[in-house]
Chain A
Amino acid sequence: MRIVSRGDRLYRTGLTTLALLLPLLLFFIVSELVVGSLPAVKQFGLGFLTKSTWDPVAGQFGALPLIFGTIYSSLVAMVIAVPLALGAAIFLTEFAPRWLRTPVGTLIELLAGVPSVIYGLWGLFVLIPLQRDILWPILRPVLSWLPFFKGPFYGPSVLAGGTILAIMCLPYIAAVSREVLLAVPAPQREAALALGATRWEAVWTVVLPYGRAGIFGAIVLGLGRALGETMAVTMLIGNRHEISLSIVQPGYTIAAAVANEFAEAASSMHLSALVLAGLVLFVITVAVNACARWLIWRVARGSAVGSAAI
């Protein structure tokens, strides 16, 4: 539309300025991270990503255990969260009695509003004792031959951190999956039912495949949340710089290392290494989130489904 009056021009200029603050801010964030991590990049180069020693006293920093732990704990979280979130989403769209849909949906949304530190507190004093004193004695004889369950279980571990991450990501995955399933046209279901499918078969053979890309997007979105989640993981994962496949052993994540060490870092190289670790986390999460948005957008095609949930 053509802009005529001075007021219009002023209004538009003002709003544009405010809007452009966001790209400017993102530019600042990236440049501050890059500049802050330059000393570590110069010192360690690619070795930062492939070495496993993290020794602030000797000035040696290799972030491989952190990167591994970040991804591994998030994958553990996905293994737990995805079936539950999808089950809940299918329940809410296909099977739940109508009067139950809104309250259950609201409760799951509320789960997303609980602050991370409260999950951490609860995990520390409720979840860990539960897993250590009740679950582990039962599961240990059955599972301890697997490499994923080797070694003693003291409590703070990838399992504890992954479980809390699962609880935290679940509402995001469930909410977006639900939107995706709601977007599946009713005639698709009806056709399957008319052919004699049971309601479950209609869901499994028609509805889920139809929403496949969107559901995958929802899962990737949850993964993005899990990768960058900080407080609850810091409190539960055990904070040990080692790579282990066993989920009952302690691990570490990038976010947790930054949270623990940043305020106390004494040398400028330690700080720079932590900023670089943050930059790595930034790149991973931005890539994962972009992937998720693309997948959801492909399904939603410009409707508000994806953006509202993200």
Chain B
Amino acid sequence: MAANTSRRVFGAFMTGATYSAAALAILPLAAILSMLIVKGAGSLDWNFFTRSAVPLGEPGGGFANAIVGTLIIVGVAGAIGVPVGIGAGIYLAEFGGGRVGWIVRFVADTMNGIPSIVIGIFAWTWIVRPSGHFSALAGSAALAVILAPIVARTTEEMVRLVPNSLREAALALGYQRWRTSLTVVVRTAGTGIVTGCLVAVARVSGETAPLIFTTLGNQFFSTRVLEPMAALPLQVYVYAVGPYDEWHRQAWAGALVLILLVLSLGTLARVATRRRQAGA
């Protein structure tokens, strides 16, 4: 009986330990989000969104150039990376049974594991060095390289979820394979694919490492993709490690905007998924 009691006590203790492990796992999220709001929300004013960085000592100044820069850089990255990813994903789901499919799948998984800083080096040697100057385009290219394999794998998963009977029905009606694939299979998987793309874009929009020596950052407002451009995560990094309190204050505000951007993309994705499930 005594042995039994001690076993039960130990079991209860370990169960409690898993409760606290879960609580400890969530604690940083709560701590980070609350700090972002406490330290960042106060600095979000009209200036922050409408003005670019000003020289130190001048009042005001904001992140307008960085916010617009990030939208442009990520937009261009999406325009390059998403079509490639979706195409490769459809290929994997529809024709990917053979050796080529195996290789592409293996490569996509391998690329997903490459550290983003290494992709940054690649973009530098591939675009920045030959062209002789830093550019937003090089940063977009780096982000597109990160984006494409993620999109490819999620697209594949989504297209695979489409029941074969749908495909067979279309084929039985005399549809050609390509038309079946595009208008029936891919369309059915459409919301899922969009969700996957949004999640992937959310992930790369917070990337900083591949931008440091490609887009470089810019003190001024610029929309030219062939020149250095400011980016939100980059600006947060520079201001955070800089020595001035004013910079730190703005870094918190910039980080708050960044996480709102990332989380809203993620939420959008969740809403899209839920609607699909509700409709199905």
Contact = CB atoms under 8 A, between A and B. Distances in A.
A252 B262 CA distance: 29
A282 interface: yes
* Majority secondary structure, A binding face: helix
A255 B117 contact: yes
Interface in B1-48: 7-8, 10-12, 14-15, 17-22, 24-26, 28-29, 31-32, 35-36, 39
A8 B118 contact: no
Contacts, number: 279
Contact of A122 (B35, B100, B112): B35
Size bracket of the B interface: 35 or more
Interface stretch (B51-59, B101-109, B219-227): B101-109
A228 B118 contact: yes
Most buried by B among A10, A114, A167, A229: A114
Nearest to A109: B266
Contacts of B12: 200
Contact of B31 (A108, A122, A198): A122
A8 B176 contact: yes
A114 B39 CA distance: 17
Interface stretch (B71-79, B81-89, B187-195, B272-280): B81-89
B87 A255 contact: no
A28 B126 contact: yes
Interface in A285-307: 285-286, 288-290, 293, 304, 307
Given A23-B103, A228-B118, A91 B32 contact: no
Interface string A226-260: 01111100010000000000000000000100110
Closest 6 CB pairs of A and B: A87-B21, A228-B115, A115-B206, A18-B87, A11-B178, A289-B113
Given A12-B95, A22-B84, A26-B110, 20 more contacts: A11-B177, A11-B178, A12-B178, A22-B107, A85-B25, A87-B17, A90-B21, A91-B18, A91-B22, A111-B29, A118-B258, A118-B259, A121-B252, A122-B35, A122-B36, A170-B25, A201-B7, A204-B14, A235-B240, A310-B109
26 contacts: A3-B177, A8-B178, A12-B95, A20-B104, A21-B84, A22-B104, A26-B111, A29-B122, A84-B24, A95-B19, A108-B22, A108-B29, A110-B263, A113-B266, A116-B208, A116-B209, A117-B208, A118-B258, A118-B259, A121-B240, A170-B25, A255-B209, A262-B213, A274-B121, A293-B109, A307-B157
